[in-house]
Amino acid sequence: MTDLTLHKDTPIEQFDDIRPYDDHQFREKISALVKEPGFEHAVRYVMPDVDYNDFVAKLITVETQMDFQIKVMGPFLELLVAKTTSGLSMDGFETYAVGTPHVFITNHRDIVLDASFLNLCFIRHKLPLTQVAIGNNLLIFEWITDLVKLNRSFIVKRDTGIKEALAAARHLSAYIHHTITQSKESVWIAQRQGRAKDSNDMTQESVVKMLSLAGGKDAKGNLKQLNIMPVSISYEYDPNDYLKVREFLMRRRDPDFKKSQHDDLLSMETGLLTYKGHVHFHMGECINDVLAADAATDRNEVVHKACEILDRSIHCGYKIYPCNYIAYDEVNGDKAYASHYSIDDVAAFDAYIDRQLAKVNVPDITDDERVFMRETMLMMYANPLKNQLAAKDCLTCK
């Protein structure tokens, strides 16, 4: 079992099964990756105008994983921003103690881009980049595993048995603490295992409990060791909204419905390549002071309190767009927030909803199901405002 006290001489090799590739492995792994037909297909699909041979020639000259993130992934992400958004922005930097590694916990909107866009914001502001947690359920092909580990991602093992799950959680917690306290690097992890399909973002207690396992102190001390910072992500439009509606519909028809690997690939592809409107990140305050001031000492109480702090900060930090106000009013059947949008905004948003719902590829949709689908999609866009209003009503919200 992993030593959860993490001594200064704890060897990084004990995490080889989950950690990113190091610079000593980089050249070997990148040389093998560019020969993979699947990788070539993905590059040509995402960048149809690329000269693949020229791309490879430049890629194999990259020598370190940090150079890969900054010189390869940075320009690629800027291309995605230019092609698929109305702009990417971030604020709240005044809360960030540069030089102190943090665990950044965000709400989860897009499988690939949540952490990627966060790191792009850091690249733009010349701030240290983060390592990224990624579930092994998304590593459908071996070359994808190589790609994400080259891109400084570490692996979260999912779909294990109960006994294996505890061991995996301890091992993951130990790696994250090692990264923060010994490697002095920051980490990104989503607040829950999967995306909140209805945009009702709530931190999963099992995620925070996992973080509290290592560190050699009590639960509160272990969490404080990580300098956890909540970050809010606000996509104006969710490219996967119609795919999420489809999943809700399929589960309504069959509660045992499960997505396929093809569904995950389609979600990744759609999230990457489809229009998102404006995307905004807001950095909240490190939770250490609020957590320390709370009287809770029992692990479960500490974890629950940490989740409350994270949720409140994330909800308060949302950027609310006209579409959110429109959806909230339509869900509630009134015009309480009509001052935040125009008649043209309503027409454009209703037309957008109709276009997205028309993409739901399910046979024999009934009139009742169409009503359900529309209500479901409206709720996706209403929930960020609903949660922000509730959070700001809390006296302790800053």
Domains in the chain and their CATH numbers?
Answer: 12-239+275-319 (3.40.1130), 323-392 (no CATH)
Q: What is the pLDDT of residues 277-326, one digit of tens each?
A: 999 999 999 999 999 999 888 999 999 999 999 999 999 999 999 999 99
pLDDT band for position 6 (cuts 50, 70, 90): low
Residue whose C-alpha is closest to residue 333's, from 375, 383, 373: 375
Say if residues 121 and 280 touch (Cβ distance below 8 Å). Answer: no
Mean pLDDT within 194-208: 91
What tokens were used for 2? 């992993």
CB atoms < 10 A from the CB of 7, how many? 9
Rg (CA), the chain: 21
- Confidence label for 138 from pLDDT (cuts 50, 70 and 90): confident
Residues 235-267 have pLDDT tens digits of 999 999 999 999 999 999 999 998 888 888 889
pLDDT at 113: 93
Confidence band (pLDDT; 50, 70, 90) for 8? low
DSSP-assigned letters across all residues of 273-325 = HS---EEEEEE---SHHHHHHS---SHHHHHHHHHHHHHHHHHHTPPPPHHHH
Dump pLDDT digits (tens) for 89-129. Answer: 999 999 998 889 999 999 999 888 999 999 999 999 999 99
CA proximity to 305, closest of 290, 318, 315, 316: 290
CB distance 29 to 150 below 8 Å? yes
Strand order in the sheet with 87-91: 87-91, 278-283, 228-235, 103-106, 186-190, 130-135, 153-156
Q: H or E segment at 249? A: helix 241-253
pLDDT band at 160 (very low <50, low <70, confident <90, very high): confident
pLDDT of res. 4:
53
Q: Where are the beta strands (DSSP E) in the chain?
A: 87-91, 103-106, 130-135, 153-156, 186-190, 228-235, 278-283
For the whole model, what pTM was predicted? 0.92
Q: Among candidates 138, 141, 122, which has minimal Cα distance to 130?
A: 122
Residue 376: its H or E element: helix 367-392
CB atoms within 10 A of CB 86: 12
